[in-house]
Amino acid sequence: MTMTPKELVGKTAAKRIHDGMLIGLGTGSTAKWFTHYVAERVRDENLMVRCVCTSDATEQQARAAGLNVIPLGAGMTLDICVDGADEFNSDLILIKGGGGAHVREKIVARAARQVVIVTDSSKRVATLGAFPLPVAVLPFAAESTAELLHQCFEVPVTQRTSPDGMPFVSDDNLAILDLHFGVIQRPALLDQRIRQLPGVVDTGLFVGIAHEVLVAHPDGRVESVRPPQ
């Protein structure tokens, strides 16, 4: 049976795992395949690994698959973190947060020696911004924070909702605002400017975090993309 690109790249990344590793498990439709194949290798090869999860959903999947899940402790350094992305550019700057887990994802990624992003070729873009930029904010004043973001950047801002129509709430009890830029010319500066605003917890821009992106192509190739030297 032919693998989907997401399954293929997840399995490819799982080959990077070795006995004794401390692993960051990402969130999303591609990262879940990495978790699946890590668990398969742990069972088949009797590997001893420990895992830090970036969301409640990933933790549930990991525990159900028999993986050893631990919290991220003070001073802990992960050997590798593997996660997905909604967009990435040639500088390996990412937009993440389509699932609303980007605050934990960024914390776990920052604690890792190596950050590998798993994607399919549709996520590669010349310029970031077609995917709305998720911004996690305090629910206390989500509406006023949305208005402030709109005033500062003059782009449409929408508060994310759940399937039932209620405001979306992240695992960390944060509201998610989606900023519709269309084109983001200076992502590092934009990330800095947004994070300075009151009420903002973090953005879905991951700048200088990813070390490698594994890209699955429809023809079965998996391409390794690294930042320019």
The mean pLDDT value for 134-146 works out to 96
140 and 104 inside one domain: no
36 and 95 inside one domain: yes
In this predicted structure, what is the pLDDT of residue 94?
Answer: 98
In this predicted structure, what is the pLDDT of residue 1?
Answer: 60
Q: What is the pLDDT of residues 114-136, one digit of tens each?
A: 999 999 999 999 999 999 999 99
pLDDT of 93 above 90: yes
pLDDT of 2 above 90: no
Specify whether the CB–CB gap between 63 and 132 falls below 8 A. Answer: no
- What CATH number is attached to the domain comprising 62? 3.40.50.1360
The mean pLDDT value for 78-92 works out to 98
In a domain, 88, yes or no: yes
In a domain, 12, yes or no: yes
User: How confident is the prediction for the chain on average, in pLDDT?
Assistant: 96
Distance from C-alpha of 25 to C-alpha of 119, rounded to nearest angstrom: 14
In this predicted structure, what is the pLDDT of residue 28?
Answer: 95
Percent of the chain with pLDDT over 70: 100
- What CATH number is attached to the domain comprising 194? 3.30.70.260
In a domain, 229, yes or no: no
Q: How far is CA 149 from CA 132, 159, 178, 188, 198, in A?
A: 13, 12, 10, 17, 10
197 and 211 inside one domain: no
Catalytic site positions: 105
189 and 212 inside one domain: no
In this predicted structure, what is the pLDDT of residue 148?
Answer: 97
Q: What is the pLDDT of residues 162-182, one digit of tens each?
A: 999 999 999 999 999 999 999
In this predicted structure, what is the pLDDT of residue 158?
Answer: 97
The mean pLDDT value for 54-58 works out to 98
- Pull the structure tokens for residue 157: 């801002």
